[in-house]
A and B are shown apart, each in its own frame.
Chain A
């Protein structure tokens, strides 16, 4: 699900729409109410303020109208009165001038006044200070006492006028005066002037009813206009404007709400209005919130802004009903929601359409890619790509198609090149294959020849080793025996010479064999814990006599931080040291020979780099010969004269052995001063194993030989000399000896005379030692008998190899007495001579 681009696009758009909608609804819901409520409050306030402004304007219009009307009327009346007064004065002048008598002047004047009309039904009248009517259009009024015409204070207006007119000369008043047409007392505004000469009070009156009527009309007109204007406000849908007087009488109501008793609304507003003085602080009115029950006994909450025009006894309230407001809010919210929904649907539809187009192109491209392998990669564009671009005009898709097209073109080009190469290669391969086959045949032949040669060589070496060692073994063995037997010093010297010659030959043979093994990479190293101190002591011991005789000092210096035991091939180290120390002993006449061992650097806790030095104060080596000294058969020049002898193999062997053990050997030498040979072995492991020094418990017999408990030892060797030599030696060791000359005979001997130990030669006719050992070890009756291998074959066999074949021990030819005793001591307890004698007894 939602693994395709199309589905992801749709999901994204839907998600965005949903998130936007939810956010919008959430925001509008949480803030909408507060905002729209606030807006409603503001709308209501503004509506009230607008209404107040309109009312102010209309009121000012009415006020101005009334004032102007009254002013104009007063002005007219003043003018009329002044004109009349002037006229009266004229007539008075006529009297004064003698033209008319006073009576006549008055009469004529009054006639004039009687007929004077300044407006239809508007006339003037005259009375005197005695309140007697002098002139009036209605003759019945003339001559009567004009009293009882009350003013607004119910006081006699004309009397009051009379009282003040003499001082004031002109007075306005409002009083009840008979209307001319029916003499009914109606309210008039009057203007009075005084003519002191005749003590006349001249009056001009105007009915108030017209003015009042016009004023009322104006007021109604203002209300109508007000109603028309404020009826258009949006507030009327959920509330409205109420104008009412202090008695609660509604003057104007613009609300369109139904089921509301507006009289109750008015009462509620009045009861909740805090401002008692009839004033509000500003045109926004006072906020009033109240509850009341409507016609359906439902309690409603309303909010109003109220303003009071106390001077005109008007109260204006702009109110709205919360129930209606909420309905409106819901309508607006629903509208917005629907709009949002439409927008969302449109967005999703567009997303689906666009994603479909994209998905179509992508699927076509995928199809094209799948079919690409089957395409023939012609030079023209793939028609499938043409189809895609023709159905999609998006630049991105076109770019993608172009990329695919380019890829197709390049692929075609490379494929064609590859095919061409392939053809060439096939030909080349065939040629090479044939050559290789020929070569291979040659190699096979050569390999077979080499293997044959190697085998021959190995067999030769094995045979040579065996053939040379066997007589040597006898030679050296008997020399040893003779040495022990003989007491004559001179004979001892002869034997010593023979031993020395024999040892030299043995060394030479060993060296040659070692070289052969190293060259054939058949040298096998046996690593075991080696105590260098013991080894060095042993080396010193070997050359002690020679060194002492020369007066040379031999120094052994082992570093204090050198581990006691190191994992080395003791035999090979010994061999190297014997060579080097032997050379030092040979080429040093005086001074010292120093044998040192130290560690250079500790790589880790388990390994060290071992440095062994052999220093001498001998002849030294010529500078140019230093590098040649380690080559085969190379000797120092001085040695060529054969003064010191040697075969030239020793250092070469040392070098090969050192390098075979992963080290290096070098020399620092100065002619006439001395030489220092340095062996550097890397990563020599340290060992915590203790090399058990097999203490030579030299329990020697009376003739100095080790004294073992008597055992029966079977010697198996086809060489009589060897058998004899061993027999002699073993006899010295107080042993009973049996002999057999081949493996087969050995088996017979073992059955008849179960020996305690068997010393088995390996190379024998009829049955070799390996076969015989195998048989013996497989027989439960004989497998317990220790079998020591006795061989001069150093090429094919090692001790480890011998042990693997079932042998329990290992002796090499020519055998050394020490080695023989060491080996025997493993299986035979060393006995004291007394003890042994006791035992024999």
Chain B
């Protein structure tokens, strides 16, 4: 009896350990080493709701991540024009050398922000995934694309990149569980909360202006729910201004953002600059001019690139790199046999403060010495914005 008990204990322990290791090995410890797909290359497809710079940058960072982890031979990707990804795709198709990965030539899909096309494109993709079965992994760029492919109409592994709030958008169920075995979306559930908190701690505003498109997507991009949550916590007022977003005519989007900035400059003591089509390298100089003249501190939701262009601060720098790295690892793990829906979705941006001193002087804002000393990146001047990776 004693012996049986002992053995049982060991077995249980062993099983426990196995399971533990299995459990432990669930999301983080899977291999990311390049593997072929049964001697074939893994075929990757791409779908975006429309052109957006973040999609381009995230995708490029993902490709670079794959390079880092050996799935693609390192190669310099040329600077891209505009916000498009089709030209990038074509270049990748033509130039990338890899034994393991193939960017399928005709597997780049975009709905061009045309609501009437989205359904049709999604249907086309799903049909292809189900019938042709010539794509091993879909990269869904953005919330629109994520919504389109996050369903059980197909079963092709899909990684949703560059979606600001996949949980809020209904792409995934939660941070822990995407809800689909074949779908994963990177979530950083507290990312915007962190931003707002830090912004408030530094500035101490009483009225925060937010310009965003009053659509489900727009509210998601602007993390309105997070802002509202933090506003109750800190006791500040949200002043909203609605813009045009996700439409073909970018100029209209840009003008709508400018108008909102003018309006918010008179009503608020800080503006949270959210990601949208109207905030782009073309419009940022005017936006910066508006807020600096009104001596309004700004926080860029998107990136330090915008801080370099003149917004006062941000806490993300080169987000794309980290995200790309995460996406590349996720893809690698998937190609190594992991069920993508079971992989880790949460990936937090490191807190790295970026500030623009010229803007600080213009608005007579005195950064705390701690912030000055510990800023990850300090831009001393306002520079012309460019597409940065």
Q: Contact residues of A with B, CB < 8 Å?
A: 56, 59-60, 62-64, 66-67, 70-71, 73-74, 151-153, 160, 163-164, 167-168, 171-175, 187, 189, 208, 211-212, 215, 276-279, 309-313
**B365 contacts partner chain A, Cβ-Cβ < 8 Å:** yes
- Closest CB-CB distance, A831 to chain B, in whole Å? 142
Q: When the two chains form their complex, are residues B370 and A208 in contact, meaning their CB atoms are under 8 A apart? A: yes
Q: Flag if B378 contacts A74 (CB, 8 Å).
A: yes
Counting from the closest, the 3 A-B pairs by CB-CB distance are A174-B374, A189-B373, A70-B372
CB–CB A172/B373 < 8 A: yes
Q: Is the CB of A215 within 8 A of B369?
A: yes
CA distance A167 to B328 in the complex (A): 15
Number of interface residues of B (CB under 8 A): 33
* Sample of 23 A–B contacts (CB below 8 Å): A56-B364, A60-B361, A63-B364, A63-B366, A67-B360, A71-B380, A152-B370, A160-B351, A163-B350, A164-B350, A168-B376, A172-B373, A172-B374, A173-B374, A208-B373, A211-B369, A211-B373, A276-B206, A277-B269, A309-B364, A312-B364, A312-B366, A313-B204
B269 surroundings in chain A (CB, below 8 A): 277-279, 310
B375→A311 contact, CB < 8 A: no
Minimum distance in angstroms from A193 CB to a CB of chain B: 14
Instruction: Check if B369 sits within 8 Å of A311, measured CB to CB.
Output: no
- A208 and B369 within 8 A (CB): yes
Q: Which residue on chain B has the smallest CB distance to residue A173?
A: B374
By beta carbon, the residue of chain B nearest A190 is B374
Instruction: Give the complex CA separation of A151 and B267 in angstroms.
Output: 35
Report whether A70 and B351 are in contact in the complex, using a CB–CB cutoff of 8 Å: no
Q: Does B297 contact A (CB under 8 A)?
A: yes
Flag if B350 contacts A59 (CB, 8 Å).
Answer: no
B343 within 8 A of A: no
Q: Contacts of B267 on A, CB cut-off 8 Å?
A: 277
- In the complex, what residue of chain B is closest to A152 when comparing beta carbons? B370
The distance from the CB of B165 to the nearest CB of chain A, in whole angstroms, is: 23
Given A62-B366, A277-B206: 9 more A-B contacts, CB < 8 Å: A59-B364, A59-B366, A66-B366, A71-B380, A74-B378, A163-B350, A311-B297, A311-B365, A312-B364
A174-B373 in contact (CB<8A):
yes
A418 and B365 CA atoms in complex are apart in Å by: 111
Q: B245-283 vs A: 1/0 string, CB under 8 Å?
A: 000000000000000000000011100000000000000
Cβ of B363 < 8 Å from any Cβ of A?
yes
Q: Decide yes or no whether B295 CB sits under 8 A from chain A.
A: yes
B351 contacts across to A, CB distance below 8 A: 153, 160
Cβ of B154 within 8 Å of any chain A Cβ, yes or no, is no
A163-B350, A277-B207, A277-B267 in contact; A311/B364 too (CB < 8 A)? Answer: yes
Q: Quote the shortest CB–CB distance from B17 to chain A (angstroms).
A: 24
Determine chain A's interface SS by DSSP, over half rule: helix
CA distance A278 to B237 in the complex (A): 14
For the complex formed, measure the closest distance between the CB of B303 and the CB atoms of chain A, giving whole angstroms: 15
Q: Which of B203-242 contact A (CB under 8 A)?
A: 203-204, 206-207
**Chain A contacts of B155 at CB under 8 A?**
none
B373 and A74 within 8 A (CB): yes
Complex CA distance for A132 and B267, rounded to whole angstroms:
51
Distance to closest chain A CB from B280 (angstroms): 26
B196 to chain A, nearest CB (A): 14
Q: Mark B374-389, 1 if CB is under 8 A from A, else 0.
A: 1110101000000000
Q: How far is the CA of A442 from the CA of B295 in the complex (A)?
A: 135
Q: How far is the CB of A366 from chain B (nearest CB, A)?
A: 85
B268: chain A residues at CB < 8 Å are 277
Cβ of B27 within 8 Å of any chain A Cβ, yes or no, is no
Chain A residues with CB below 8 A from B366, complex form: 59, 62-63, 66, 311-312
The 8 Å CB contact of B322, one of A167, A309, A313, is A167
- Complex alpha-carbon distance, A74 and B369, angstroms: 12
8 Å CB contact of A63 from B203, B297, B360: B360
A344 CB to nearest chain B CB (Å):
55
Chain A residues with Cβ under 8 A from B361's Cβ? 60, 63-64, 67
- Asked if B364 and A60 make an inter-chain contact with CB atoms under 8 angstroms apart, the answer reads yes
**CB distance A174 to B370 under 8 Å?**
yes
Cα–Cα distance between A409 and B369 once the two chains are bound (Å):
107
In the complex, what residues of B have CB within 8 A of residue A63's CB?
Answer: 360-361, 364, 366
Residue with the greatest number of chain A CB neighbours at <10 A, chosen from B203, B294, B360, B370: B370
The verdict on A279 contacting B357 (CB below 8 Å), with A66-B366, A153-B351, A211-B373 known, is no
- Residue B321 interfacial (CB < 8 Å): yes
- A71 near B378 with CB under 8 A, answer yes
The residue in chain A whose Cβ has the minimal distance to the Cβ of B295 is A279
Inter-subunit contact A212/B369 (CB<8 Å): yes
Cα A189 to Cα B321 in complex, Å, equals 26
Chain A residues whose CB sits within 8 angstroms of the CB of B367 once the complex forms: 66
Shortest Cβ gap from B327 to chain A (Å): 15
| Residue from A67, A163, A211, A309 whose CB has the most chain B CB atoms within 10 Å | A67
Contacts of B350 in A (CB 8 A): 160, 163-164
Interface centre among B204, B294, B361, B374 (most CB of A within 10 A): B374
Q: Are B364 and A67 in contact (CB under 8 A)?
A: no
A155: nearest chain-B partner, CB-CB: B351
Distance of A60 Cα from B203 Cα, bound (Å): 18
- Is B41 close to A, CB under 8 A? no
What string of 1s and 0s marks CB contacts (under 8 Å) between B317-353 and chain A? 0000110010000000000000000000000001110
Please pick, from A66, A167, A276, A310, the residue contacting B321 in the complex, using a CB distance under 8 A. A167
Which A-chain residue is minimally distant from B265 (CB atoms)?
A: A279
Which residues in window 15-34 of B have CB below 8 A to A?
none
Closest Cβ–Cβ distance, residue B158 to chain A (whole Å): 26
Residues of A within 8 A of B206 (CB): 276-278
- Which of A60, A173, A212 has the most chain B CB within a 10 Å cutoff? A173
C-alpha gap A74/B367 in the complex (Å): 15
A278-B206 Cα distance, complex, nearest whole Å? 9
**Smallest CB separation, B319 vs chain A (Å):** 12
Q: Which of A64, A153, A163, A172 contacts B376 (CB 8 A)?
A: A172
Residues of A within 8 A of B375 (CB): 172
> Which residues from chain A contact B360 at a C-beta distance below 8 Å?
63, 67
A72, chain B: closest CB distance, angstroms: 11
Which residue on chain B has the smallest CB distance to residue A70?
B372
Contacts of A62 on B, CB cut-off 8 Å?
A: 366
A208 to B350, CA, bound (A): 23
Q: Which A residues are in CB contact (< 8 Å) with B203?
A: 311
A417 to chain B, nearest CB (A): 103
The smallest C-beta distance from B377 to any residue of chain A, in angstroms, reads 9
Q: Which residue of A lies closest to B375 (CB)?
A: A172
Nearest Cβ distance between residue B12 and chain A, in whole angstroms?
A: 33
**Min CB–CB distance A73 → chain B (angstroms):** 7
Is B373 within 8 A of A73, CB to CB?
yes
B322 touches A67 (CB 8 A): no
Chain B residues with CB under 8 Å of A59's CB are 364, 366
Least Cβ–Cβ distance between A126 and chain B, in angstroms: 20
Minimum distance in angstroms from B314 CB to a CB of chain A:
15
Interface residues of B in 298-325 (CB under 8 A from A): 321-322, 325
Provide the bound-state CA to CA distance between A163 and B351, in Å. Answer: 11
- Please report the C-alpha to C-alpha distance between residue A309 and residue B370 in the assembled complex, in whole angstroms: 20
Which residues of chain A are near B325, meaning CB under 8 Å?
Answer: 167
Enumerate chain A residues within 8 angstroms of B373, measured Cβ to Cβ. Answer: 70, 73-74, 172, 174, 189, 208, 211
A67 contacts which of B204, B294, B357, B376 (Cβ < 8 Å)?
Answer: B357
Distance in angstroms between the alpha carbons of A311 and B360 in the assembled complex: 10
- Please indicate the chain B residues that have their CB under 8 angstroms from the CB of A172 in the complex: 373-376
Cα distance A73–B375 in the bound complex, in angstroms: 13
CB–CB B365/A66 < 8 A: no
B322 touches A311 (CB 8 A): no
**Bound-complex Cα distance A445 to B261 (A):** 141
Q: Choose among A59, A163, A174 the residue with the greatest number of B CB atoms under 10 Å from its CB.
A: A174
Residue of B nearest to A167 (CB): B321
In the bound complex, CA of A160 to CA of B348 (Å): 12
- On whether the beta carbons of A164 and B374 are closer than 8 Å, the reply is no
Minimum CB–CB distance from A51 to chain B (whole Å) comes to: 14
Residues of B within 8 A of A311 (CB): 203, 295, 297, 363-366
Tell me, rounded to whole Å, the shortest Cβ–Cβ distance linking B56 to chain A: 20
